[in-house]
Structure 1
Amino acid sequence: MLKQINSLMLALSFFYLSCATLNINTSKEDNLSATALQPYGRDVRNPEQQLEMISSAVHFGFSFEGAECQVFASIPDVNGHNYLQYELDGVYQKRIRLEGKAKLPIRLTAPAAGKHTVWVYKATEAYTGPILISKITGHKVKPLRKPAAPLIEFIGNSITCGAAADPAEVPCGTGVYHDQHNAYMAYGPRVARALGVNFVLSSVSGIGVYRNWNSNGPTMPQVYEQVDFRANNPQRWDFNTLTPQVVSIALGTNDFSGGDGKEARLPFDSATFVNSYIKFVQQVKSKYPKAQIALLSSPMLNGKSRETLQNCLTAVKRNIDAVNSRAKPVALHFFQPMQASGCSGHPNVEDHAKLAQELLPFFKKLVP
């Protein structure tokens, strides 16, 4: 009898061990390395095999099963901070502040178990520094690609970045400049989502065509080919990485700026602006010969400045179309003037929704 009891206990112990092992295996987390991610936007794979998210709204996607996953993200500046933001199952969630000294991964949770998709975006621009992604962990975590669709590249300044647009967490006039950045809610990504197309942002706050808001340079034509839009960086962006069908250029607001009041500012020079703009469009066309070029004015300019910018853009179009008679004619859109409600005179997230709504019919005609 004792022998039978011992045999039964041994069998039960083996059954328990088998169940426990099975339970451990089914809950085991998988690792998705940064090298497997497929980002949209300007990025770098550094020697540590991390993904460096550089440009505004550069993003990557992945799927996982269960109720949570972890994103291993960091920034190089231990004394600084930066921001990510994300979608879960196609629904925008929030911005996430990354502290330079933080060591723990970002934990993303779903309301229920099952299969989920996540798209992670950089909320800030290149000048705030890169965000480093080492890996993603979760059950059955896999990289995602965007569905095949046309691509729009949005070139511009702080407006295109979504800078100073979101004071929900850090009020205007407090914190540092990028505390109010929200690239996901900027007009370009909104237009792309509404049209069901892909997008990248190539934008820098304060930048212009022939001069910046408070300096003579480096301007967009001088930094466009650098991977992070910094003139002193020898690393160039590989323009074969992505091929946009439409390139939208929204520059000029800062060329018209009166400066910061610290140094003398010459009056706006229409001839220099037009000539510089023509050269920049030709520079862009040399990277994307078949792309449709679209020039946008500025919603921030009114009165005489608005009229002058529109005349300048018309002159740029006339010249480019004459030189490239077999190419698609340059498209123009002149914004309606806007009284912006964001920080330091910028559009806020609601203003960006209005800009996107105004632009939708225009881009709908351009997207193949």
Structure 2
Amino acid sequence: MRTMILLLGFFALTIFGTRADATGGHANDLHHGVNVLPASALHPFGRWMLTGAGEVEMIGSAVHFGFQFSGTGCAVYVQLPAGGGHNYLQYELDGVYQGSIRIEGGSRQPLVIKTGSAGVHTVWIYKMTEAMSGAIFIEKIAGQGLLALKRPEAPVIEFIGNSITCGALADKSMMACGIGDYSDHHNGYYAYGPRVARALKVNYLLSSVSGIGIYRTWNRDAPSMPQVYEHADLSDTGRRRWDFAQYRPVIVSIALGTNDLSKGDGKTPRAPFDSAKFVGDYVRFVRLVKTKYPAAQIALLSSPMVRGAEREMLQHCLMAVKAAIDAQYPSGRTVATFFFEPMVPRGCGGHPSVEDHALLAAQLEPFFSRLLRE
């Protein structure tokens, strides 16, 4: 049986003169009259599953859920798998982004969210890290006046991609590059996809994996996105299948190619980029996506990290994919393409920073806005 570990987190800051913090504490520190909202009553959005024990398993980048409480505080019971090390959540309180919360494996206390004022408060909690960083389990919420919130009815965009789409290595606010674990520099909330979605007031889910490509990873031949996409945890070894009936995206954005073009790690033998295989596998992957969402607009994005001749090659390949799909589906919406301007990234490990993601989102907003209107 899986042993579960409760969270201990800390975050505090002052906003507009009101102190809002999430601290390790006990549910009985709250006011009298506490009631419980089980995780099974929540309405998460993104890549998630409900466990047999009724817990919400937050899997993918930026999967999120919301709730209301009244009074000055509530307790969120958050758990990691046995040996889970640490992980991260992010949250908004009353519409204001508060920051990240480090979840330490081995702690036995719930996350207590406190406010400096009574009344009704709204919380949205997001998974900061991607699927391969491990799942985060929500057991229940304790407090007064609890109400599970649904995302407002709105179009949905699915963002498929690699580490850039995950928001990996973007955040240096907690520790400098080169220090800590890979997950310590993630920031799914501020990745370009969620930024675009919030700006356009639409819903979103991220199906993204660091290092992945259409036919190979950054330093190996496998797994590729077509091999993991149908698995709930975006892993080629995962046994659970993702339920594509949960959402009906109006747009599926695919941003892959950076890792197919990668020169690798310098240790593992690496064949030259095979444009014919890339295009062929990409066409087959788009066909797979269209079996899940027949009516969705497909949008192919290039990479802001690719420059020079490789940039031209990637763009040429994407246009070949578009031509093939448009020919195979003459009655459907034509495939849209977007080519990023080259970027000198300021994040860790040659990745876009949180600030860079804001620039990428600004480039993309008019593109997605037009697609949503068509």
TM-score higher than 0.5: yes
Match of 1:81 among 53, 68, 86: 86
Residue of 258, 275, 281 corresponding to 2:280: 275
Aligned runs of 1:18-57 on 2, under 5 Å? 27-57=32-62
| Counterpart-to-counterpart distance in 2, 1:101 and 1:170 | 22
In structure 2, C-alpha distance between the alignment counterparts of 1:208 and 1:102, rounded to whole Å: 37
Which of 161, 186, 191 aligns to 1:186? It is 191
* Residues 299, 337 of structure 1: 8 Å contact kept: yes
Distance 1:90 1:357 in 2: 21
Question: Unmatched 5+ residue regions in structure 2?
Answer: 1-30
Q: Which amino acid aligns with 1:104?
A: Q
Contact 2:69-2:143 within 8 A present in 1 as well: yes
Deviates more, 1:182-191 or 1:226-235: 226-235
Verify the 8 A CA contact 1:218 1:231 in the aligned structure 2: yes
Instruction: Say which SS state the counterpart of residue 27 (structure 1) adopts.
Output: coil
Structure 1 residue 302 corresponds to structure 2 residue 307 = yes
Distance across 2 between alignment mates of 1:91 and 1:351: 21
Corresponding residue of 2:156: 151
Find the counterpart in structure 2 of residue 168 from structure 1: 173
Structure 1 residue 363 and structure 2 residue 362: aligned?
A: no
Q: If each structure's helix is expressed as a fraction of its own residues, which one has the higher value?
A: 1
The amino acid that maps onto 2:315 is Q
1:57·1:122 contact (CA, 8 Å) conserved in 2? yes
TM-score, normalised relative to structure 1? 0.92
After superposition, the C-alpha distances for 1:153-190 in whole angstroms (9 at most, x for unaligned) are 00000000000000111211010101000000000000
Which of 283, 292, 295 is the matching residue for 2:297? 292
- What is the match of residue 196 of structure 1? 201
Deviates more, 1:161-170 or 1:110-119: 110-119
Cα deviation per residue 1:42-92 (whole Å; 9 max; x = unaligned)? 112112211110000000000011111111001114350000000111111
**3-state SS of paired residue (2:139):** strand
Give 5+ residue unaligned stretches, structure 1. Answer: 1-25
Identity of aligned residues (%): 57
Does 1:332 find its partner at 2:318? no
Q: Are 1:78 and 1:99, in contact at CA under 8 Å, matched by a contact in 2?
A: no
The root-mean-square deviation of aligned C-alpha atoms, in Å, is 1.1
Stretches (4+) displaced over 4 A: none
What do residues 194-247 of structure 1 show as CA deviations (whole Å, max 9, x unaligned)?
000000000000000011001001100011000001112221000001111110
Q: Tell me, what secondary structure is at the counterpart of 1:335? A: coil
Preserved CA contact (<8 Å) 1:278 1:319: yes
Whole-angstrom CA distance in 2 between matches of 1:59 and 1:220: 23
Q: Which has the higher strand share?
A: 2
Q: Secondary structure at the match of 2:204?
A: strand
Deviation at 1:277, TM superposition (A): 0.3
TM-score by length of 2: 0.91
Aligned residues of 1:167 and 1:180 also touching (Cα < 8 A) = yes
Distance 1:109 1:198 in 2: 27
Cα deviation 1:86-127 (Å, max 9, x = unaligned) = 011111101000011011111112231111111100000000
8 Å contact kept, 2:84–2:134: no
Match in the other structure for 2:226: 221
Q: 1:74·1:102 contact (CA, 8 Å) conserved in 2?
A: no
Aligned residue pair count: 344
Q: Does 1:65 align with 2:108?
A: no
Separation in 1, partners of 2:372, 2:210: 27
SS at match of 1:61: strand
Q: Secondary structure at the match of 1:95?
A: strand
Is residue 59–residue 120 contact of structure 1 (8 Å, CA) maintained in 2? yes
Match of 2:326, SS state, is: helix
How has the CA–CA distance of structure 1 residues 294 and 343 changed in structure 2, closer, same or farther, with 3 Å as cutoff? same
SS in 2 for 1:243: coil
**Other structure's SS at 2:99 match:** strand
Give SS of 2:123's match.
strand
